[in-house]
Amino acid sequence: MSSANARVAVTPGQAQSSISQDTRNELLSALLSNGGINNIESNLTHNLQRSGWLHSLREYVSELFRSGECTTVDEAMAKVKAKILQDSAPKANGTTNGVNGVNGTNGNTHGDDYVNLAIPNQAIRDGIKTIKKELHKVCEITSEDADK
């Protein structure tokens, strides 16, 4: 990609397989130069704020430090990552934690379950739309079955 307007043709099959480091770097450079990364970050931040997820995250991290469970940022980051994975994992009935994809407290303020850190489904859906929109600006995405 020699200019900000150059486009890279990538089929869905190629996108799902391993993309070379050079292509990844070109895509990232193009997204950085045209403001795509900022748009993706803004969209995600807006959706997480609107859902209450950022408030839940702040509450959880504050409690980790307040309780003495964590004393360093690295410890807190590890706990947060584990909590997000735990809360996002499908349950026995095939659902994830949260109510209709919105996080919040469940009334239990004791232990690790007082806050749900599963990423809200709506934030994920909106984030995917924004990423696709920004990628379409910097690369050509073709369908493998376009001729059919």
- pLDDT tens per residue across span 32-66: 999 999 999 999 999 999 999 999 999 999 999 99
Which whole number is the average pLDDT over 57-78? 97
Q: Encode pLDDT of 87-124 as tens digits.
A: 998 876 655 444 444 444 443 344 566 789 999 999 99
Between CA 64 and CA 81 the distance in angstroms is: 13
Taking the complete model, does pTM exceed 0.85, yes or no?
no
Half-sphere CA count of 134, side-chain side, radius 13 A: 23
pLDDT at residue 1 above 90?
A: no
CA distance 102 to 96: 11
**Cα–Cα dist 68/126, whole Å:** 36
